[in-house]
Amino acid sequence: MNDVMSIALAVKLEQSETEMLSSRMQAFKKIAGNPMGVEICSFGNTIAFLAKMMPGPAFNTVRGLGIDDIDKIVTIINHYDSKKISPQFVINPAQVSKELCFELSRNSLCQTSFHSMLYGSIDQCMGQHTNKSIVCRKLGKNEFDLYAEIYINSFGMPTSLQEGVAQNNSVLSDEEQWQFFIAEWNGEPAGVAVVFTDKSIAVLASAATLPEYRGRGIHRELIQARLEHVFLKGYRLISGQAAFGSTSQKNMERAGMKIAYTKSIWTEITKKDHLL
């Protein structure tokens, strides 16, 4: 793999993330009656993802925005406003410009955080399993309730969301591009993770470790399990994203991945923000 970062590679990595989100959202939309109110709209090269019944930023996000679509920013904002949803704009540095940032600011958006995109050669990132207390295996189709339980407890989410999380992931169980894993510590469920395969890139999707099992190498072993899975499928390039400076980022770097770029996250300036 030519691992020198370029504009073209940065765009390719970002497109894989967008494909992953699109695949997930399309699966949500296929649920009878579209109960989550999923909409996927294109504005030029920009894609606006919306899930009315899931108002958080993960599923209400704008991707692919660049200078060519600068004249569509107002239309995109109005699209979300009509649904009473506040979106986040994910800006790739390969597509950023002073004019784009100015137009976002002019429409009451501001940069609120950074997110790291990492990548690496799979054969160079794979390592040895050294902790015999940890066993990673593929999640069974009848285990999505367990997956959801681990996921919500790992992130401190309300238990009322467990059924929804189970459904939102089980709809992907028959999709060839998705594979779910569970990690066990001495036979006890301790963590979960997901990998998505695009045309030429494998993407490390979400991962979660229960609080009582953190610091034992669970996440690192889940990274290795996913690397081995996609290597056998013929993939050679891996990517993943993480909050800047987070444990997830550090574990990806320890596995041999490196930072491709840092994307900026833009969100709406609210009346409360004006009062600060």
Largest CA distance in the chain: 56
Q: Mind listing the pLDDT tens digit for each residue in 49-77?
A: 999 988 788 899 999 999 999 999 999 99
**Alpha-carbon torsion angle 127, 18, 102, 56, nearest 10:** -90
Domain hosting 18: range is: 7-116+263-275
Residues in contact with 164: Cβ distance below 8 Å, sequence separation at least 6, in sequence order: none
Is 97 a domain residue?
A: yes
What's the rounded mean pLDDT across residues 157-177?
Answer: 93
What's the rounded mean pLDDT across residues 184-188?
Answer: 97
Q: For residue 45, which amino acid is it? A: N
Which residue in the block uniquely carries the two structure tokens 């993407």? Answer: 203
Strand pairing of 188-197 and 38-43? unpaired
Same domain? 125 vs 251: yes
Domains of the chain: total: 2
CATH of the domain at 19: 3.40.630
**Alpha-carbon torsion angle 146, 147, 149, 150, nearest 10:** 120
Inform me whether the pLDDT recorded for 20 exceeds 50: yes
Same domain? 126 vs 254: yes
Same domain? 130 vs 104: no
High-pLDDT (> 90) share of the chain, %:
89
Is 1 a domain residue?
A: no
Same domain? 85 vs 149: no
Same domain? 186 vs 58: no
CATH of the domain at 213: 3.40.630.30
- Average pLDDT of the chain, as a whole number: 93
Inform me whether the pLDDT recorded for 2 exceeds 80: no
Instruction: Return d(Cα 247, Cα 127) in angstroms, integer.
Output: 18
CB contact burial 168-194 (16+ within 10 A = b; e otherwise):
bbbbbbeeebbbbbbbbbeeebbbbbb
Same domain? 244 vs 157: yes
Q: Mind listing the pLDDT tens digit for each residue in 73-94?
A: 999 999 999 999 999 999 999 9
Which residue in the block uniquely carries the two structure tokens 């993943």? Answer: 240
What's the rounded mean pLDDT across residues 193-204?
Answer: 95
Is 2 a domain residue?
A: no
Same domain? 255 vs 130: yes
Looking at residue 143, the DSSP 8-state letter turns out to be -
pLDDT for the residue 275: 42
Same domain? 142 vs 99: no
Whether the CB-CB separation of 198 and 24 falls below 8 Å is answered with: no
Torsion over CA: 110, 114, 78, 70 (sign): positive
Same domain? 105 vs 200: no
Same domain? 88 vs 178: no
pLDDT for the residue 171: 95
Same domain? 163 vs 255: yes
Strand order in the sheet with 258-268: 38-43, 46-51, 61-63, 88-91, 258-268, 109-121, 237-243, 201-209, 188-197, 178-185, 134-138
Same domain? 195 vs 208: yes
CB atoms within 10 A of CB 13: 26
Region for 191 from its dihedrals, namely left if φ exceeds 0, alpha if ψ lies in -120 to 50, beta otherwise: beta
pLDDT-derived band at 260, boundaries 50, 70, 90: very high
Strand pairing of 201-209 and 237-243? parallel
DSSP line for 220-241: HHHHHHHHHHHHHTT--EEEEE
pLDDT for the residue 162: 94
> What pTM did the predictor assign?
0.92
Inform me whether the pLDDT recorded for 271 exceeds 70: no
